[in-house]
Structure 1
């Protein structure tokens, strides 16, 4: 990474983005010197960033090494329980507060994302953008902050539920239902559509993880 980019972002943000984009996956070891070389920053801010990420449970200790943390079944269930309620609230508030321009952006996202159905990784990134847009459309800064924390922890999951066969197309249909409810200013329908969407995603992820465990 070049120095100009590194100078615009702190070490914490750079490492967090690397985890979020899958550059570092659960179980990968993070080494101060390697991170400093990759991001073009000194080891002191890297060390401070690693300590902060460990405090937030995004990194874990493996002997003397720090590795990207992973979520067990109970942690994943707890995360989805919180995410379901917060995302539902974001959709409810978006139905109440979203501008017409924000609603149009959400509509455009659903249409544009149909071109990504054969690329789960790209669709996963687009999915994050879609949900982030709903968060912002809620016009509640405190809710956005809490959802940012939840979505950081989502990066600790080894797979995306969108990798399951047929899930991408179903997810986009669910996205369309969410946007339609927001556009109608139907707060209850938006809340329920978003909660149902997260619930289906959780079931899909559980099935994927179960199949992956059988392969180990």
Structure 2
């Protein structure tokens, strides 16, 4: 199925093609995507409504999260991700658990490599937990949260040493889900997100270097 202009622009933002602060020009996007300007205009309006884009005079730019917005986003993400893990421990099929385990093993091969590749693997891992919760409304809300995560200029996986710690945290989360221990899964995923937020704050404060 052919992707529409909205999906293509959103994916470009999520992939870092367009970063926070970048100006999006309707005519340039239409040419790049090979579509007319009308669907691009409609896509930009939709993204502005969703706060993915913001106005700078007459131009639209990719939005930037300030400190308070970042804290608010992580507060919501922590609770929703924790709930997804709790529900996954209750509802995940044996097949879904095996997939999660294989993701942890496969992602270890990425350690020390490209932070963006690790970030993509991380998103895939978390999405699998969301789906394993078997709660469509929770999945929808987490999709919105993760869409906003694209507005952060750097992934926390770019911080020195974060990738190995995160992989160990992923293994702990899967272990709790496999044990059908909802409380432990909830706590493990909340701790994982909390550590990611702390890492991001330390990077922003200059305490940690990016690879």
TM superposition score category, shorter chain reference: over 0.9
Aligned-residue offset at 1:132? 0.3
| 1:57 equivalent in alignment to 2:51 | yes
Aligned equivalent of 1:163: 158
**1:28 aligns with one of 2, 11, 22:** 22
Distance, in Å, in 2 between the alignment partners of 1:201 and 1:19 is 21
Tell me which protein shows more helix as a share of its residues.
1
Shift of 1:39: 0.9
1:21-43 C-alpha deviation (Å, 9 max, x unpaired): 10100000000111111111110
Cα offset for 1:147? 0.2
Equivalent position to 1:73, from 56, 62, 67: 67
Query: Where does 1:1-216 land on structure 2 (aligned, <5 Å)?
Result: 8-118=2-112, 119-211=114-206
Deviation of the 1:56 alpha carbon: 0.6
What is the count of residue pairs matched by the alignment? 206
Alpha carbon RMSD of aligned pairs, Å? 0.9
- Normalising to structure 2: TM-score of the pair? 0.96
What is the TM-score with the length of structure 1 in the denominator? 0.94
Q: SS of the residue aligned with 2:35? A: coil
Spell out, residue by residue over 1:141-193, the C-alpha distance to the aligned partner (whole angstroms, 9 max, x if none): 00000000000000000111111111000000000000000000000000000
Aligned-partner Cα distance in 2 for 1:194–1:155: 20
Deviation at 1:117, TM superposition (A): 1.1
After TM superposition, give the deviation of residue 63 of structure 1 in Å.
1.1
Q: Give ranges in structure 1 of 5+ residues lacking alignment.
A: 1-6
Superposed CA deviations along residues 73-110 of structure 1, whole A, max 9, x for unmatched, are 00000000000000000000000000011000100000
Aligned residue for 1:211, secondary structure, equals: coil
CA distance in 1, matches of 2:163, 2:103: 14
Would you identify which runs of 4 or more consecutive aligned residues in structure 1 move more than 4 Å?
Answer: none
Distance 1:91 1:17 in 2: 26
The residue matched to 1:61 in structure 2 has which SS? strand
